[in-house]
Structure 1
Amino acid sequence: MTDTRTDLVSRLRDVTTATLTTVLLKRGHRNVWMRGTRPLRSNQKRIVGPAFTLRFIPFREDLATPEAWSAPISTRTAVEAMPNGCVAVVDAMGCTDAGIFGDILCARMVQRGVAALVSDGVMRDAEGVGKTALQVWCQGVAAPPAVSSLTFVHWDQPIGCGGVAVFPGDLIVADGDGAIVIPSALAADIVDEAVEQERAEEWILAEVNRGTPLSGLYPMNEQTRARYLKFAGKA
């Protein structure tokens, strides 16, 4: 990643997906939260990284076979193309009856420095995947392999994941509320606003915990904003 992209990633790690969806909504981007992307484990940390996309389509008997695992176009080949720090985003068409990846592929992704895996599908080998320490956002788990329901067709191309368009290089942010997409061209424009909104809402929450009524506080009226700006050293 470039220095600019690295700085964006670092700053966005302090911003929740809830805040980011609000900031993006103000810019007219409503469809950024990928449906079905839940943390596979409860202790996962917030992750941020550029999208590396993978795509499945409905299975076809002559293509979705165990032999496909060693084909030039395969999930195995795609894993070897994943760059350090990326977030693998997998379009599984919302399929929940076949696991797209298992413990072996996830272990290799960890070795390659992949930040996380996000999918609208499900995983298999849940216990083994947990041992790899790869952070995963998906719809859950299923025992059957992907080839029982899906055909892998390519990587590093535009996809749809959880009803959201994802292009290679878009920034992905995932936390306890799920995974969202920030279009790459927008990331630098919204980061300051997002960081500031996060700070302001932390101050508002502190005020609520002190017993301050919501009227005029959330959203802030002029008097409250003046008080916040003084607190933040911006008055």
Structure 2
Amino acid sequence: MTLDRSVIDILSAVSTATLTTVLLKKGLRNVWMRGTRPLRPGQPRLVGRAFTLRFVPAREDLATPESWSSPRSTRAAIEDMPAGCIAVADAMGVTDAGIFGDILAARMRKRGVAGLVTDGVMRDVAGVLGTGLPIWCQGGAAPPSVAGLTFVNWQEPIGCGGVAVFPDDLVVVDDDGAVVVPQKLVEEVVAVAQEQERLEAWIMGEVENGASLPGLYPPNAENKARYETWRAGRTTAGE
């Protein structure tokens, strides 16, 4: 499913922190994927559809080097990834077996995959960093995936970092980690998140000018009116 360019543009300017607040107000508390930290500092904020991958605990008859050539393998899954997607891999939080290495990351980059999010770890970290693929994970480990995991499927519901992620949900990642926006809520969240970010920018300006927090964050009626006047002035100025 193609993601509208306007959605990408708007959410690329909205922090994951703001998104969690917006989703909390809609009743969703569990949207931030635990353990999803940027592998390289300064990675860009990304917005994309989730392409899901699922691992289960290793079973000796299945988790073998030979499984890498199976039709149901990480290699096959990568060839099914559309450009612009964000791969989200459920590795059950396992941190002693790297799910992908440099060659797989390089192929994902070549296919136009926007980034990779996992609650697991990577191997060949130096090589992975060299591919330029933005990755959010729990770090690195030398052993291959089959040392602790069995890959079972792609594009089905998963649990990554304790969060339910469905194929084509929206994923936003930045320095604070990865947040999922349910597909059916995207339009509502886009509309509210942009305004929330604008409001918080105004509040930050007030704080920098010496304002105290009570009645400002969150704003009371008086400060809401002041904000609306400020917002109207920006709109008139074409900002």
- Between the aligned partners of 2:76 and 2:87, the Cα distance in structure 1 is 13
Alpha-carbon distance in 2 for matches of 1:9, 1:53: 19
Say which is worse superposed, 135-144 or 225-234, in terms of deviation. Answer: 225-234
Q: Give the Cα separation in 2 of the matches to 1:166 and 1:53.
A: 8
* TM-superposed deviation, 1:11: 1.1
Match for residue 74 of structure 1?
Answer: 73
Secondary structure at 1:61 match in 2: coil
CA distance in 1, matches of 2:203, 2:231: 12
What's the CA shift for 1:6? 2.8
TM-score of the superposition, structure 1-length normalised?
A: 0.97
Residue aligned with 1:233, SS: helix
Return the offset for 1:7. 2.0
Q: Which amino acid aligns with 2:168?
A: G
Q: Distance in 2 between matches of 1:5 and 1:93?
A: 31
The 5 A counterparts of 1:149-188 are: 149-188=148-187
Percent of aligned positions with the same letter in both sequences? Answer: 64
Letter matched to residue 211 of structure 1: G
**Which residue in 1 is equivalent to 2:190?**
191
Secondary structure at 2:232 match in 1: coil
Alignment partners' CA distance in 2, 1:31 and 1:156 = 21
The residue matched to 1:202 in structure 2 has which SS? helix
Instruction: Name the CA distance, whole Å, in 1 between partners of 2:214 and 2:53.
Output: 47
Residue type of the alignment partner of 1:16 = S
* Alignment match, 1:20: 19
- Using the alignment, how far apart are the partners of 1:210 and 1:133 within structure 2? 40
Q: Which runs of 5+ in 2 are unaligned?
A: none
Deviations 1:37-95 (A, max 9, x none): 11111111111100000000011111111111111000000000000000000000000
Partner of residue 8, structure 1: 7
Deviates more, 1:112-121 or 1:217-226: 217-226
Aligned to 2:132: 133
User: For the residues of structure 1 that align with 2:207 and 2:191, how far apart are their CA atoms?
Assistant: 24
Q: Distance in 2 between matches of 1:27 and 1:149?
A: 37
What is the SS of the residue equivalent to 2:183?
A: coil
CA distance in structure 2 between the partners assigned to 1:10 and 1:124 by the alignment: 32
Q: Give 1:148's aligned amino acid.
A: A
SS at match of 2:50: strand
* AA partner of residue 158 (structure 1): P
Match of 1:231 in 2: 230
Give the partner amino acid of 2:187: A
The number of residues matched between the two structures is 234
- Residue 42 of structure 1 pairs with residue 24 of structure 2: no
Report deviation, 1:9. 2.1
| Within-5 A mapping of 1:79-90 | 79-90=78-89
Is 1:124 the counterpart of 2:128? The answer is no
Runs of 4+ in 1 over 6 A off after TM superposition: none
Residue type at the aligned position of 2:186:
A
Deviations 1:174-194 (A, max 9, x none): 111110110000011111111
Number of the residue aligned with 1:148? 147
> What TM-score, normalized by structure 2, do the two folds share?
0.95
Q: Deviations over 1:22-47 (max 9, x none)?
A: 11001011110011111111111111
What CA deviation, in whole Å up to 9, does each residue of 1:174-224 have, x standing for no partner? 111110110000011111111000011011101101111112211111111
Q: Where does residue 32 of structure 1 map in the other structure? A: 31
Q: Which residue in 2 is equivalent to 1:101?
A: 100
